[in-house]
Amino acid sequence: MDFGYTKEQEELRATVREFAEKVIMPKDIELDRECKGSHEILEELGKREWMGFIVPRKYDGQEKDSISLNITYTEVARASASIAANMDVHYLLMEAILRWGSEELKEKYLPQLAKGKLIGAFAITERGAGSDAAAIKEPAVLDGNEWVLNGEKCVVVGATVADAFICFFRTGEGRKGITAFVVEKDTPGLKALPHEPMGLRGCGLGRLVFDNVRVPKENVVGNIGDGLAISLGTLDFGRIGIGCSGLGVAIRSLELATQFAREREAFGKKIGEFEEIMFRLAEIATEVDSARLLLDRAAWLRDQGVRYTRECAMAKWYATELGKRAADFAIQVYGHAGYVRTQDYLQERNLPVVEKLWRDARSLTIAEGTTEIQKFVVGRLVLAEERK
C-alpha cells in the first residue's frame, strides 16, 4: 500500500473540491433548512463521471480505484455530508448489481447509474430490522413471473430523490429466506414519504411504502435467498463511504475551528494561543490523518480482492465518531455562534453554520451500522483470529 496519492488522484481531489465549494457548499444550508434532497446535484456529479468509479468501462463506468472514490466522497462530504450520503447509497446499488446481478441487470442499470442518469439507493431497514438484517419480515410473494412486495422500509437515505432501489424482502424461512430486488421508483404501488431528521436533512431521507408492488423475476439480484449475504457484503463497501463522510465533516470542522481560533481574541490574545485549544486542534489534526489512513487501507484491501470486513468496520467507527468529536469542538470554539442557526445574525458577522456539522456527524454514527455494531463486528473477528 502506497501512503501517497498519485498525480491523478491529487488532480481529482482539487477538481472535486473546486466543484464542491462552488456548487454544493452554497446549496447545503438551503437543503438543510428546507429538508429536501437534490437530484440535480447528483446528476451534475454524474455528468462529471464521479458516480460510476467502480463500474467497468464495458458498462460505461470509469473503472477507477477505490481510493480515488474515497477522495471524492471526502471532498463532497466536506461540502455536504448529505450529498455524500446520497453518493454512498447510489454506489451500494451498483455494487450489488455488479457483484451479484445477472448480465441482464448489469446491462439495464449500470450504464445509467454510472452516468448519474439514474440515482440509486439502498432499502433494508424495517421497524424491527435495522442492525439485525436477518430479522427482516416484510414479505415478497411469487405470482407467476412477478414478485409482489408489501410492507415498509422505514428509513431510507435518498428515498425521495432516488430513481431505483435495492430492496430486501422475506421470501422464505431463516437466514436463507431473504431476497434482494431492484425496484424502480415509478413502480405502481410504491410511495416515498419524507422524514424530517435531525441531521443529513439534505439527503432526501424518507420511508418507502410497498402496496402490492409487482416486480419482474428478472429484477432479483443474485439467487432467491441470497439477500442477507448480499446486504452484508454490500454494506462492507458502504461503510467506507459513510466513514469518508465522517472524515469530510471532521476536516471541515477542523478548518473552521482553526480559522476562528486564529481570529478570535480573548484576554488580550488569540484564543488559538491558549494551550487547551491548541492541543485539541493538534489532537483532531492527528485523528484526521489516522481516519484517512484507516479508510484508505480498507479501500486498498477491497481493490486487492480480499475480505475487508474488519478494516471497514474500524474505519467507519473511527471516522464517524471523529466527525462528531471534531464538530463538537468547532461548536465549542465558536461559542454561542457555534450553535446559533439564525441566518441573518451569522451572515452579518460572516460566520458559518457550525451546528449543522454536528447534526450531520451524529447521523453518520448511526447510518449503515451504529458504532456499537462496528465494535461488535471488530471484536468478534478479533476473537475468531485468536482462536485460530
Active site residues: 368
> Rounded to 10 degrees, what is the CA torsion of 217, 222, 225, 227?
-110
Between the CA of residue 336 and those of 77, 247, 269, 273, 346, what are the distances in Å? 25, 25, 19, 20, 11
Residue type present at position 67: I
C-alpha cell belonging to residue 344: 441573518
Tell me the C-alpha distance between 205 and 121, whole Å: 11
Are 181 and 169 in contact by the 8 Å Cβ rule? The answer is: yes
Instruction: Measure the N-to-C terminal CA separation of the chain; round to a whole number of Å.
Output: 26
- Alpha carbons within 13 angstroms on the beta-carbon side of residue 285 total 10
Tell me the C-alpha distance between 214 and 223, whole Å: 18
C-alpha cell belonging to residue 74: 471526502
Closest to 25 (Cα-Cα) out of 353, 261, 346: 353
Residue with cell 484507516: 294
Tell me the C-alpha distance between 362 and 32, whole Å: 15
Query: 131-151 burial by CB neighbour count: b if 16+ within 10 A, else e?
Result: eebeebebebeeeeeebbbeb
From the CB of residue 313, how many other CB atoms can be counted at a distance below 10 Å? 26
Tell me the C-alpha distance between 241 and 315, whole Å: 10
